Structure formats: C-alpha cells, structure tokens
Structure 1
Amino acid sequence: MDDVDQRSWLGKEFRLALERPDETMSSNGQTGHPRDRMSLLSHDLRSALSDILGGVQLINKDQFDQPTLEHFDRISAAGETLARLLNKMLTDEPSTGAGMVTQPGNLNLADFLTDISRRWTDRAHEKNIKFSVVTESALPAIVTVDRVGLERVIANLVGNAIKFTDAGQVTLSVKCTEDRALNFKLTDEGPGLSDASIAKLFQYEGRPTDTPKPGTGLGLFIAKELAGMLGAELSVRNNDGVGVAAELRLPHEAWFDRSLRKSGKAPGGVSRGPVDLSAMKILLAEDNKTNQLVATQMLGAMGATFRVASDGLEALELLETESFD
C-alpha cells in the first residue's frame, strides 16, 4: 500500500475498532478475525502519546515568560487528560452512552484542581477573558472518585462556559457543604440560556440550530450522563443577573471511601479481593508520564494515598518534608 492507501486503511481500522470492537479489518478491506478491542492500534497509540508527553517533560520551563508558560501548561495538561482517556478506551469493557466510568480511585483534590486550571487558563486568555478556580471552604485532601469521569464532566462545563463568554470571567468554585457534599459550581458572564436551549437541556445533540456559536450540545449530554454514573447531581440554570450557573453536587457517599477498601480472604488465608493499601502513603518515583498514569491508577484502585515524583531529586525533596510508608 502507498502512504495514501495506508492512511485510508488506518482510518477505517480506527473507526471499526470503535464501532465494532470485536472485529478488525485486514488491509484488503475485509473484516478479519475477532481480536481484542483496538488491539492493532493500542501499542502504537500509547507509544506515540508517551513520546509526546515525555518530550513535553524535557522542555526547560524556566526560560518561558508567563504567556508561554500558560501555553505549555495547556498542552501538558491536555496531553495528560488524553492519556487517561486513551488508557480507559483501550482497557475498559465496551460501554454505552457517555461510558467509561469504572472503579473509583483515590484522587488528590488540590492536584486535580491545579490540573483544571493549567488546562483552561490559557484557553480563556485566548478570548481575553479570565478563568479562575476558587476554593470556598476547607476541602478534603483525598476524594475517592473516578478521575476521568469527573474530569470529563468539569471539562465539558468549563469548555461550554468559555465558548459562550466573550467578555468578563468564568469561575469554578469548589466547596464542601455542611452535609459533606462536594460542590463544583461554574459561573460565567455570557448571554445565558435561551428558552429554546432550556427546553432541550441535556438532550442528545440538544442545542438549537439558530445559536450563534458552533456545536451540537453533546457536552451537556455527556456531562449529565457521567454525573449520574458518578452518583452526582448536575443542574444548569441561568444565573441571577448574567450568564449561566452549572452546579455538580457529589454527595458524601459518592466521594468518600466507597467500595475500594473491600478485601476478602479465601480459605487458607489467600487474598481473593483487591489488595488493601488504604492505610499506606506511598511515594512513586517515575519519570515516564504513561507509566505514572498506569501506576497511580493501580495504587488508587488499592486505596493507597500517594505522591508522585518525576525524578530522584524531587523524590528526595518530598522525603525531607513528608513521611511515607
């Protein structure tokens, strides 16, 4: 095959792997033997993404001015998000709807909010508006949720808010309520929702055709589906005065502990459940971003609290200031 034919075949292969996960296509266009989902492409996709993230990490940020640093953070944070999405797509069982919510893991909430800021601050500055993350109360250090699912909900809400806000600011406020619910409230200073938009809110491709901005309305549909899978409640309304307010409420039972710390012993003392590391604080030293993602997902699934160091020097600095098991 020449390069054009090869690209055409790879495109068909990718689409088939997504739409019909138990089949693959041979280079002559015929459906081949059943294989694991995305098996023909998963190795090369991961390898290419690992090189992108690895190359980004080698860049010396000290020489950047503030605008360039924001560009860098946006690329780096989006690449890390892509790696998590790709890993789920390639390893999870096929699912329907918004899909891809699996077992929750322990998530450092402060680091998560920092990553949200890194990804979206530069996008907002592109439009000469401001994006900020504000914590309104003491927050738990660790929450037990599916990171990718939560990240997708927040990303769709923030992306919509920035798209429709042409002046002013977009603010993500995070707080714990008196009943220990975790609230993410996003407000913008855009034009607000029309009556037609409200009537089709959360519907699949529910955006009215006469809206001035491009899009289909899939973002809110995805956010609503994923919120339900996370055990959360999502509401969107016109804000008092100007713009839209979107609020994601995670009840205490949706983010605290859940089933991660279950363990069982088979006869003879052999463990038959997931290893329980809920009492452990672990320092992971790893410079490869893809390996970091895999290892932290495993540690999270076992209930561990963990910190990640990207090199030996950072690991030594953490050891001087914190205690690990």
Structure 2
Amino acid sequence: MVCRPDPDTAPEVTEMPGEQSDGPAVRGDGDAQSPRNRAAMLGHDMRAAIADILGGLALADLSSLDPHSRLQLQRVQSSAEQLARLTEETLALVVGDDSPRAEAPVLTSLGPFLDRIAARWRAHAEERGLGFVLDRADDLPAGIGTDPAALERILSNMIGNAMKYSPAGEVRLRVQMGPQEALCLRVRDTGPGFSDAAMARLFDYAGRPEESSQPGTGLGLHIVRDLAQRIRGQLHVANVAGAGAEVSLILPRRSWAPGVEAPAALSALPDLVGCNVLVAEDNPTNQLLVQQMLETLGATATLVEDGEAAAEALAAACFDLVLIDIEMPRLSGIDVIRRLRAAEGDGPATPVLAITAFVLSSNRDQIYAAGADGILAKPIMSLDSFGEAIARVRRKRPSPCTAAVPAGPFDRVHLDRLLALAGPEDGCELLTRMREDFGTVRIGIVQGAAAGDMALIRARTHVLIPLAGAVGNTALQADAEALNAAARADDRAAMGGLVPRVLDRVDAVCTALAQEFDIRFALEPAR
C-alpha cells in the first residue's frame, strides 16, 4: 500500500488585507512578499499552467493524427509530466522544504511507466536518425513501489547520454528480472564506449574528461548515481565487446517492493459504481478531466465551479466522496472543508480529497488541519494515481451514505496475498516479524505516553501507520494517523482518548496474528 503523509497541525490561513481568501496561505507569517512565499506562489502558478497542458493533452483525441505528430505530442506529454515533478522538487529546495514525494514509496504501474519513457525517447531518437528499442521481459511485476520521479530522471539521463554518444545505430532499454527478484533496467548504445579517462572520473561532479569532443559538463552520471542511491539502487557501467557501452540500474527487491507493502498494494482501481461524487473545481479543463476519470471508475459526478456552490451542494445532499480544489473563487476549498466538518459535528463524516497545486508541507498541514482526508497534487498524472488517491481516502473514511462494514483485526485477503507471495518459509518469517513489529510499536507507545515523550510516540506511530495498512486494518491506521498528529501538536487531551484505543486495536491485531501463526505454521506436522 502507499503510505499517506502524516496529518499535522498548522497555522491559521492568512489573507491579504482587503482581499478574499482563495486558498491556503503559503506561510502563517503574513509576509506575502517574502522570498519564500513569492517562490511558493510562483511554483503554484507553474504547476497550474503545467496542469492545463497535461489536462488538454489527456482530453485530446490523438488517434486521428499521423504517427509522427502523435509521437511528438506523446513526447510533449511525457516531458510535461517530468517538468511537473522537477518543478515540485526545485520549489521544495528553493523554499527550504522537504519534497512531499520523498515521504514514501509510490506504487507505480510499470507497463504504462515504460510506455511513457519509450514515447518520449523514440521522438528524440528519430530526430537524431537513431533507433530506440524498449525490450521488456514477460515476467515483470505489474507495479513497483518506488519514487517514479527519481526513476524517470535516472532513465532520462541514462538514455540521453546514450543517444548523445551514439552517432548511428540504436539505443536499447532492456528491462528484466535478475537474480533474487532484482529489477534490472539496462541502457545499451552503439557508440564508442567509455574512454579510460571517462572511467577514471565516472560519477564525479562535472566529470567529463577535458579531451572529450562532446558538449556538456558531465553531470548526467553524477545525477544518476545520486538518484540511484536515493531509491536504494545500484549502478553498473561497462563497455560492450565490439562497440558501445551499457549502463545498468539494478533495483533489489527490497527497493522496488519495500517491506510488506508492495504485494498488498497491487490492487485494481477502485470500483465507484453507484457513488455520487461532488467535484468542486473552477478550471474547465480540470473539470472535464476529473469527470472523465470518475466516469471511467463508474461514479456519477456533480460539478460545481466555486466554493459557495460547493458549500450549498453539501448542505443539500449526501455525497459518497468530495473532490475539492483548494483555490476557488467566492469561497476557498479550505473554508468549504471547515464548514462541512463543522456541520457534520460528531456524526458520520464525508470523505474529502483535496486537489491542489499547493504541495509544500506548510500547505498540506493547513489542508489536513481543515479536515481533508487526503491530498492529490496537480497536475493529475494518470488514472492510476487518481484512483490510488481515492482508494486511500475511502479506506480511511467510509462513505456516510452507505452502511459501514465492521472491520476485523486484519483483512484476510491482504494477509493471504502477502503469505502466498512470500512462500511457506519466507511467509513464516514474515508473519513472525509482523508480530514482533506490532509488539515493538506497542511498547514504544506505552513508554512514550508514560514519559510524555512526544518524539517516541511520533516515531512509533510513523511505523504503525503503514504496518496497519499492510494488514488492511483501516481503523487502526486512521487512529495511528490521528495519534501521530496529536503528538506533533503536543495535544495531551486528544492523546488521552487515542492512546488507549490504539493500544486496544494493536492488542487485537497481535492476538489475531498469533492465532493465525498457530493455524498456518506452528501446528504443521513435522516432516
């Protein structure tokens, strides 16, 4: 499964004097002209512009175009998606924030990801008179848990370098499984290969040999190495007998299927048949894109164009899900969510997914504090990412329009899938480790609560959130998130009610897993 950002407390929304609030403040310091705030607002507008480009391309029918034109537009689309990710990371560096994409591995559908890479680089190869071949094995995993932006940057630098140094012939991307389920991505070219001088300075910053006839600074492989380390991959570089070079990225199973999360996360898109979804979005392109995605998932969409209309719709009807843009005229998304949560009181709450180009941690804190259950960053990259965001929100908060189904200590389908994929011997070890992890988390929460150690509680609940998700216990996962947020805010009153409930749920999971272990492993007859 994909881990959610930890909800946290945040300063109140600030407004410029005499102006109506149309979104979350970038910071709570009230200085809109500070370099940090100006950079954040510029980043917001850049993301909004890129979202329009991607939305328009997603809605366009490319099938009537000739192959060359279609290839070029697919290249534009792939490059725009990468530009959106780079914009987010650059903005995070400029304002001194952490990139939200670095928080947890993201489940990425491998086939469509490779198709996008191929579409982008076939066009580049065509311009240079080269061939580009995507060669993929038949036994690849359907999805991988990693940082897709980092992986795309790695492959872009590897393929770009290969094309740069290949005057003729082809560049080939081979994707296959290696020993011990390692995922291997190999880029081979037909150029002259690496010189001795280049090998001596391999991965150095600005490591291009002085005698090189090619333009550039030599940053490509340095970037590749840095990003490979970030996603726990390994790089292999070698000259090919005859001619050319091969650069390989090797992702051990632990890096593309981290922990126990990846097998459980390989699930289909959510089935929204019969669901009525409110979409509050003022941009016509984004409205149409979201509506088409929802209809693909089986939902019925009700569209409104501003915050006041959204608030009126929520007051008049019950919705299974709310998708809300944070920056809207008349009333901001933040204020709409606050009104909704105030009106719901202690009763059943509507799942809310915020869709926004404000993606820094301070913005996310404000959105979660207002009562959102999840955040999806603009531009929306794919139906997969859209569906996954909705699925996470619905797991966290079931619809108030349908009867809730009582949840057990764990989801048997989740556990069966995990143990089946692990095999008998590894399954025994996996279940043992899960029981130990739950026990360690419980001890830490008890100790943290007794000593008033907020850092310890935050650390243990940070582990508990994905652990509860791995066994499909959404109630425990939601309580762990709430306890994490309360510990961050040093809210002792909220913790007083949350700690006993979390411990009770952890105890129930531990008891159920112990019984499951006895049934599956401890009672097996000796061979």
Q: TM-score, normalised by structure 2?
A: 0.45
In the other structure, the counterpart of 2:216 is 215
Larger radius of gyration: 2
Partner residue, 1:50: 51
Partner of 2:348: none
C-alpha change, 1:101 and 1:163, in structure 2 (3 Å) is: farther
- Give 2:289's aligned amino acid: D
Match for residue 269 of structure 2 among 272, 277, 282: 282
Q: CA deviation at 1:34?
A: 6.2
1:187 Cα deviation after fit:
0.4
1:38 alignment partner, SS class: helix
Change (3 A) 1:302 1:246: farther
Asked if 2 retains the 8 angstrom alpha-carbon contact of 1:278 and 1:303, the reply is no
Give the number of the structure with larger relative contact order, counting CA–CA contacts within 8 Å between residues 6 or more apart.
Answer: 2
Matches of 2:132 and 2:244 in 1, distance apart? 14
What CA distance in whole angstroms lies between the structure 1 residues aligned with 2:75 and 2:234?
28
Alignment of 1:157-306 (within 5 A): 157-258=158-259, 278=265, 280-283=267-270, 287=289, 290-293=378-381
Give the conservation status (yes or no) of the 8 Å contact 2:108–2:146. Answer: yes
Letter in 2 for 1:83: A
* 1:71 and 2:159 matched: no
Distance 1:259 1:39, change over 3 A: farther
- Contact 1:104–1:301 (8 Å) recurs in 2: no
Query: 2:50 & 2:160 partners in 1: Cα distance?
Result: 23
Distance 1:101 1:57 in 2: 26
CA 1:102–1:167 in structure 2 vs 1: closer, same or farther (change >3 Å)? farther
Amino acid across the alignment from 1:40? M
**Mean Cα deviation higher: 115-124 or 284-293:** 284-293
- Tell me whether 1:133 sits opposite 2:134 in the alignment: yes
Deviates more, 1:147-156 or 1:293-302: 293-302
In the alignment, the residues of structure 2 paired with residue 95 and residue 163 of structure 1 have an alpha-carbon distance, to the nearest angstrom, of: 34
Q: Deviations over 1:11-52 (max 9, x none)?
A: xxxxxxxxxxx9xxx9xxxx9646458313022111211222
Pair 259,303 (structure 1): closer, same or farther in 2 beyond 3 Å: farther
Instruction: Give the Cα separation in 2 of the matches to 1:299 and 1:149.
Output: 22
Could you tell me how far apart the structure 2 residues matched to 1:110 and 1:278 are? 16
Q: Deviations over 1:197-234 (max 9, x none)?
A: 11111000000132122111111000001101111101
Give me the whole-angstrom Cα distance separating, in 2, the residues matched to 1:38 and 1:77. 25
The alpha-carbon distance between structure 1 residues 259 and 253, as it changes in their structure 2 partners (threshold 3 A), is same
Partner amino acid for 1:282?
Answer: L
* Rounded Cα–Cα distance in structure 1 between residues aligned with 2:252 and 2:389: 20
Matches within 5 A, 1:14-33: 33=34
Alignment of 1:71-110 (within 5 A): 71-90=72-91, 94=96, 101-110=102-111
Tell me, yes or no, if the aligned pair for 1:89 and 1:100 is still in contact at 8 Å: no
- The one-letter code sitting in structure 1 at the alignment partner of 2:78 is A
Contact 2:380 2:386 in 1 (8 A): no
Alpha-carbon deviations, 1:138-176, whole Å to 9, x = none? Answer: 101011111111111111000100111111010000111
Q: Which structure is higher in helix share? A: 2
Paired residue for 2:124? 123
Rounded Cα–Cα distance in structure 2 between residues aligned with 1:187 and 1:89: 30
Distance 2:266 2:186 in 1: 32
Shift of 1:296: 5.6
Change (3 A) 1:278 1:243: closer
> Sequence identity of aligned pairs in percent?
33
- Per the normalisation by structure 1, the TM-score is 0.70
